[in-house]
Amino acid sequence: MRRWLAVLAATAGLSLGGCGAAASTSNVATLTLWARSDESAFITAVVNAFNRSHPQTHVQLTIIPVNNFVQKFGIAVAGNSGPDLASIDVVYVPQFAAVGVLSDITARAHALPYFNQFDHSHIRNGTYRGRLYALPFSGDASVLFYNPELFRAVGLNPAKPPKTWAQLVQDARRVTSSGHGRTGYYFAGDCGGCAAFTFLPLIWASHGDIFAGPETAQRPTLTSPAVVAALGFYRSLWTQHLVATAAQTDSGTNQFTPFESGKVAMFTTGGFGVQTLHQDAPKVPLAAVPIPGENGGSATFAGGDEIAISRSSHHQQAAWQFIQWVTSAPVQERYFGDVGVIPIRRDVAFHRYAPKNPIYRLLARELYSGRAVYTVQENALINDPTGPWVTMIDDAVFAGHPHAAVTQAQSSMQSILSRG
């Protein structure tokens, strides 16, 4: 795994100078915090509020484009010049914990009187070999969004959304066959992270998975019946023209556009989509239900970010003070829940956030019953646009070679995992 950091630094060809951990100016400790751009809507207000209330500590925020975060953070911490604090996508925390660049916060975290209020999935992904390296920061959960007005327009009952794949296909066919440029479903077919967030729950809900075994001896399970069936489900949507052709090349940048047009009945995204859709398409009605399994049941990807302290930080105690503050109930309510971000504390999520509307209630419930993919090689296995996960979906769904696709992806993932 340390070889992974070395490769990042070597291939980027970037100087690590000038990115060093924060220093103190007079009596004020200045901390650097890096966050990915997906958090732009709320992170600045969080940092400003902390700085106003903590005159002896100043947090300096840097927002990194989401597609560059892993490489930039990896390069910086490889040279001991990373930020003091980092808000990291939950799926990447095991990867950085495994290479030893995050501070062990196990004892301090477990001493928090509200530790048991955190969602299990974030705690699981913040843990590596029994030690805790990050705490939950912001929550998200993937659900199936649908347009109740469009359902009603084609004779479907919006109070009875699909609960199985067969029902989803049937409803999508009804919408598409009604004409007027309508389609029943949409997904971003060339986006590994999107597919993990929205496609993987289909597998989980059908009692399958893509990995098995402990974290130190993980193996892929892509040839399992549940994975093959889920790929077949997407293939059926594609071959029946129930999904717009733009899906095949959508890398995630346009995943909201079709639904925002009011002509797509269903698509899967997370809680962050509520604010996006209300802002960009306020006239498009919105409802949501859990992501269904093949024959019923449901599952969700519990996403969002975790907050971690870089091991190289010279301000460990001040950084921990920020983590304590940002995970406190008043902060999670005001600067997260009140702006539509799922709070990562159960007491806040269910008592302050969920009562606001039915979609928030669903998102809270799904986050606290959900799960996230756990692997120390997430970037190479899942998010790499030329990696085995994206290639498998393309070959199975769009090219129509599901068995060859899962066999090749299984072999490729095993090879990546075996390299450590």
Q: Is residue 372 part of a domain?
A: no
Whether residues 112 and 64 share a domain: the answer is: yes
Percentage above 90 pLDDT, the chain: 89
Same domain for 126 and 190: no
* pTM of the full structure: 0.92
Whether residue 232 is found in the same domain as residue 359: no
Asked if residue 408 and residue 295 are part of one domain, the reply reads: yes
Lowest mean pLDDT among 174-178, 225-229, 415-419: 415-419
- Residue 249 in any domain: the answer is yes
Would 163 be classed as within a structural domain? yes
Q: Total domain count for the chain?
A: 2
Assess if residue 393 is contained within a domain.
yes
Average pLDDT over residues 63-83: 92
Task: Please tell me the predicted confidence (pLDDT) of residue 391.
Answer: 98
In this structure, the answer to whether residues 280 and 330 fall within a common structural domain is no
Long-range contacts of 165-173 (CB under 8 A, 24+ apart): 165/202, 165/233, 165/292, 165/293, 165/294, 165/295, 167/292, 168/266, 168/292, 169/233, 169/236, 169/237, 169/240, 169/242, 171/265, 171/266, 172/237, 172/240, 172/242, 172/265, 172/266, 173/240, 173/242
Per-residue tokens: 369: 């019953």
For residue 5, name the pLDDT band (cuts at 50, 70, 90): low
Q: Are residues 59 and 154 in the same domain?
A: no
Domain, as residue range, for 328: 2-139+303-365
CATH of the domain at 177: 3.40.190.10
| Same domain membership, residue 205 and residue 331 | no
* Tens-place pLDDT, residues 303-317: 999 999 999 999 999
Q: What is the pLDDT of residues 130-150, one digit of tens each?
A: 999 999 999 999 999 999 999
Q: Is residue 403 part of a domain?
A: yes
**111 and 240, same domain (yes or no):** no
| Shared-domain flag, residues 131 and 147 | no
For 153-195, write each residue's pLDDT tens digit: 999 999 999 999 999 999 999 999 999 999 999 999 999 999 9
Q: Does residue 213 share a domain with residue 157?
A: yes
307 and 339 share one domain? yes
Work out the number of other CB atoms within 10 angstroms of the CB of residue 216.
10
Residues 316 and 247 in one domain: no
In a domain, 377, yes or no: no
Structure tokens at 371: 């799960």
Whether 95 is in a domain gets the answer: yes
Would you say residue 373 lies in a domain? no
